[in-house]
Amino acid sequence: MDVTAKPCLECSEPIGRGRIDRKFCSVECKNKYHNKESFADKMSMDKVQKILDKNRKILKEMYGRKDNDEIEKERLEKAGFDFDFQTHFKKTMYGNYTYTFCFDYGYRVVKDGYGKNAKTDRFKVVKAFKEKEE
């Protein structure tokens, strides 16, 4: 019975004899393959971490300014803030605000007007607040 050998996932060489579910031709190829996979995952996580760190740094700078009462969206974007990356959200009981956080600094939308005409291009930057202990 002539069975064509499956190709190695790393080097594409025929796997040869052995278990029917083998995926690699050698231990070296197996290690190379999994090291590449791990490296790609690490690089992806590092990229996200850099964006989150940059967002936190920008929020910290905006929080420390004297004119931090309300910050325009354009100002955050010019500083390099990426609104697609955050660590968590916090909804308050009083005022019914939802804050978006990058670690310990966050922001909430300051609405101008009501209904469909409400503008949401300004933000209030805050430092993390503690839960009320009961």
Q: Which domain holds residue 79?
A: 27-127
Among 109, 130, 104, residue whose Cα is nearest residue 52? 104
Name the domain count of the chain: 1
Taking 80 as the threshold, does the pLDDT of residue 105 lie above it?
A: yes
In a domain, 95, yes or no: yes
Q: Is 87 among the domain residues?
A: yes
Residues sharing a CB contact under 8 Å with residue 95, sequence separation 6 or more, in sequence order: none
In sequence order, the β-bridge partners of residue 112 are 119
pTM: 0.67
Residue 42 lies in a domain: yes
* pLDDT tens for each residue of 36-62: 988 888 998 999 999 999 999 999 999
pLDDT digit string, tens, across residues 17-29:
888 899 999 999 9
R_g of the chain, CA atoms, integer Å: 25
Is 20 among the domain residues? no
CA distance 39 to 46: 10
Higher pLDDT: 8 or 69? It is 8
> Between the CA of residue 73 and those of 30, 76, 83, 109, what are the distances in Å?
48, 5, 10, 10
Structure tokens at 16: 């040869």
Mean pLDDT within 70-89: 93
Task: Give the residue ranges of DSSP H helices in the chain.
Answer: 27-64, 73-78
17-21, 107-111, 120-124, 126-130: least confidently modelled range: 126-130
